[in-house]
Amino acid sequence: MKQTNSPQPYKTLSFSILWKNIFNLSVLAFDGWIVPFTPFHLGPGLGLGLPLRQHLHAPTFILANVIVDVEPLLVFFFGLRYPLHGYLHTFLLALPMGLAFGCVMHFLERFLNPLYKMFLLEADDNLSLRPFIIAGVFGTGLHVLLDAPLYDDIKPLYPIAANPFYTPSLTPEIYSLCIWMGAFGIIYYMGLLGLAIYRKLSKRK
């Protein structure tokens, strides 16, 4: 008797599963862990750093939003026996790291200022240390705050082992927030470029 394959039951694709499949195109799997590509964190860096560049150092803030992910990248590429989201993904170390990063960026300001000015990333001259510190601490802290709901291995309040912010159901919203903030930052930057070009043309007249 010839057997026929019975049709598989139709499976509905829920909204959460759809988002998960979309994001799987933008992540790396490593020993059961999901490592986000760091560029997602550029969204808040651009969307907040550029409009607030009168109050904080935008380049420092943008970089501080992504520098925390040097930890999982090193673990992934070198196969280290270390949590992907380890001590740098805790407020205990992320905030001092942001402070130190702000100091380093302030030291490099004398060399990088012409480059920042050329790309309209700075609004003022002779910046004090304060906007660099604010940008560094705010950037690394925001990184941990955005990652904490996504990964149960993160211990943001270390030495407390629990992660009270872990809410994986917020994954689509957090990724969407990063994407939309990045889009807003790009549009804002295009506006800065347009305004700068307009001012130069007006002076020529």
Q: Is residue 54 part of a domain?
A: yes
Number of domains in the chain: 1
Q: Is residue 91 part of a domain?
A: yes
Q: What tokens appear for 143 in the block?
A: 């990184």
Q: Is residue 132 part of a domain?
A: yes
Q: Is residue 73 part of a domain?
A: yes
What's the pLDDT at 199?
86
Please, which pLDDT band fits residue 204 given cuts at 50, 70 and 90?
confident
What's the pLDDT at 181?
96
Asked whether the predicted pLDDT for residue 26 surpasses 70, the reply is: no
pTM above 0.85, yes or no: no
Overall average pLDDT of the 182-193 stretch: 96
Q: Is residue 55 part of a domain?
A: yes
Q: Is residue 16 part of a domain?
A: no
- Look over the chain and give the mean of its residue pLDDT values, rounded to a whole number: 83
Q: Is residue 160 part of a domain?
A: yes
Domain residues for 153?
38-195
Asked whether the predicted pLDDT for residue 6 surpasses 60, the reply is: no
Q: Is residue 25 part of a domain?
A: no
Q: What is the pLDDT of residues 60-115, one digit of tens each?
A: 999 999 999 998 888 888 888 888 788 999 999 999 999 999 999 999 999 999 99
Q: How many residues are present in the chain?
A: 205
User: What is the pairing mode between strands 27-30 and 33-36?
Assistant: antiparallel
Asked whether the predicted pLDDT for residue 10 surpasses 50, the reply is: no
Coil vs helix vs strand at 126: coil
